[in-house]
Amino acid sequence: MRIYHNMEALNAWRTLSNVKGSMGKTLEKLSSGLRINRAADDAAGLAISEKMRNQIKGLDKAIKNAQDAVSMIQTAEGALDEVHSILKRMRELAVQSSTETNTDADRDQLQNEFQELRDEINRIAKTTQFNTKNLLDGSIKGTRTAEAKIVAPGSAHFAVGSYSSNITASGNFIIEVGQFQGGATSQLDVKISRIDSNGVSQVTITSVTLSGSRVAVTLSGGTGTVAITWDSNQIARIKDYGGTLASGTKIDGGSVAVYGIVTGDVDPIKFHIGANEGQVITLGFESMKAEDLGITTGVKINSQSDSEFAISALDAAIYKVSAFRAKLGASQNRLEHTIKNLGVAQENLTAAESRIRDADMAKEMAEYTKQQILLQSGTAMLSQANQLPQQVTQLLR
């Protein structure tokens, strides 16, 4: 028996200290609800769970981004619904004005309302905003559609006369279009009115000047509808769309009107809908101003012929608005599915992070109960060990 070193007491004290340390960690886990409170608890688990936490927070913001994108689309689509209503009313006015039962005074009154409605389309396009960002004035661009329109002189007149085969006419048209980054495609309708014919041959329109490039437009047995393809240098490539175009012995003061739509690639708006870099979708917001819809100041209903042309122009404008609304609707549906998918991904990732980081409360409570028992027994044994040296004094008496 020794009295200088009480090894039994030292062993009991060491064991008791270990139990108290383990109990402190268990209490920390129970109070925080986390299995990992510091890197020392599980270094690898901490690194993995922190990366997951970053992804979870990123997904949360991505969901909010997608929801904001849906709100932006809904704002634009709501404005376009009213533009649709206006265009339909303008078409009604054009149809009403096209009948010969109207006087010039009647058409002037119809034209007044027609012009006011055109101005309202421009106002809607210029003032529709989301978070102070204009949506329909062309400032947010994607695959932009711009109207190709005649600005001078407005029409080309054929000479009155009789011809048996070839028909030649001249007229200068300046067609304005915007600049595009890449190639573009245009469909132009060439309408030739008031033709009396008894034969079929070829109509050739030559010396068309567009962006400084001279091209020849040939309709060989066509209906008057041609396609123009633009390359990146804005050189027009024109081909016939087929059909029949008649020419005959007499042309009675006819005229040519050209209108159409040009599309090209520019920078679209990007919606970031993912937790990581590059996870974006793009959407182009087209200009819905009246002139970009083809309803230029030259589209009027002051006369019967003008009204007929206005009907065609309005049909094209209505089609364009319908196509853009359909595009917005498809994008909205896509974003709504994206929101659901992001929510599922966030839920699954949160569950995975919880399995790594969170404490199993039942398991930790069982561990804490065990440590309490060990602490109580260890304290009792330390007390007994401290009494052992006193037994030596019995030998010294």
CA dist 138 and 366 (Å) reads 66
DSSP code per residue over 250-276: EE-S-EEEEEEEEEEE-PPEEEE-SSS
Answer yes or no: do 192 and 216 share one domain. Answer: yes
Q: What is the pLDDT of residue 31?
A: 87
The residues that bridge with 164 in the sheet, in sequence order, are none
Q: Contacts by 335-344 with C-beta closer than 8 Å and gap 24+?
A: 335/66, 335/69, 335/70, 335/73, 335/271, 335/273, 335/281, 336/70, 338/66, 338/273, 338/281, 339/63, 339/66, 339/67, 339/70, 342/59, 342/62, 342/63, 342/66, 342/273, 342/274, 343/63
Question: Does residue 369 sit within a domain?
Answer: no
Answer yes or no: do 260 and 148 share one domain. Answer: yes
DSSP code per residue over 331-386: HHHHHHHHHHHHHHHHHHHHHHHHHHHB--HHHHHHHHHHHHHHHHHHHHHHHHHH
Structure tokens that stand for 79 in this block = 């404005």
Q: What is the pLDDT of residue 143?
A: 41
pTM passes above 0.85: no
Q: What is the pLDDT of residue 337?
A: 97
Answer yes or no: do 148 and 260 share one domain. Answer: yes
CA dist 249 and 395 (Å) reads 149
Kindly list the distances between the CA atom of residue 267 and the CA atoms of 164, 188, 299, 330, in Å, as whole numbers in the listed order. 52, 25, 30, 20
Q: Closest Cα to residue 2, out of 392, 393, 272?
A: 392
Answer yes or no: do 313 and 214 share one domain. Answer: no
Answer yes or no: do 82 and 106 share one domain. Answer: yes
* Domain closes at, from 249, 266, 283: 266
Q: What is the pLDDT of residue 267?
A: 58
Answer yes or no: do 137 and 158 share one domain. Answer: no
Q: What is the pLDDT of residue 139?
A: 80
Give the domain range for residue 79.
Answer: 34-141+272-358
Contacts with 154 (C-beta within 8 Å, 6 or more apart), sequence order: 298
DSSP code per residue over 18-31: HHHHHHHHHHHHHH
Structure tokens that stand for 160 in this block = 């009155």
Question: Does residue 306 sit within a domain?
Answer: yes
CA dist 311 and 302 (Å) reads 13
Q: Calculate the CA 87 to chain-centre distance.
A: 25
* Domain closes at, from 266, 289, 313: 266
Q: What is the pLDDT of residue 205?
A: 44
Question: Does residue 397 sit within a domain?
Answer: no
Backbone angles phi, psi at 357, to 5 degrees: -95, -35
Q: What is the pLDDT of residue 86?
A: 97
Q: Give the chain's residues under pLDDT 50.
A: 142-266
Give the three-class secondary structure for 396.
coil
Q: What is the pLDDT of residue 269?
A: 86
* Domain closes at, from 202, 237, 266: 266
Structure tokens that stand for 293 in this block = 């819809």
Contact 388, 8 (CB under 8 A): yes
Answer yes or no: do 114 and 195 share one domain. Answer: no
Structure tokens that stand for 85 in this block = 């209503």
The residues that bridge with 217 in the sheet, in sequence order, are 205
Question: Does residue 317 sit within a domain?
Answer: yes
Answer yes or no: do 42 and 75 share one domain. Answer: yes
Q: What is the pLDDT of residue 141?
A: 59
Question: Does residue 380 sit within a domain?
Answer: no
Answer yes or no: do 258 and 157 share one domain. Answer: yes
Q: What is the pLDDT of residue 193?
A: 34
Answer yes or no: do 178 and 236 share one domain. Answer: yes
Question: Does residue 373 sit within a domain?
Answer: no
Question: Does residue 376 sit within a domain?
Answer: no
Question: Does residue 158 sit within a domain?
Answer: yes
Q: How many CA atoms lie within 13 A of 253 on its CB side?
A: 1
Answer yes or no: do 149 and 230 share one domain. Answer: yes
The residues that bridge with 225 in the sheet, in sequence order, are 189
Answer yes or no: do 93 and 200 share one domain. Answer: no
CA dist 278 and 270 (Å) reads 10
Q: Could you give the number of structural domains in the chain? A: 2
* b (16+ CB within 10 A) / e for 252-284: eebbbbbbbbbbbbbebbebbbbbeeeeebebb
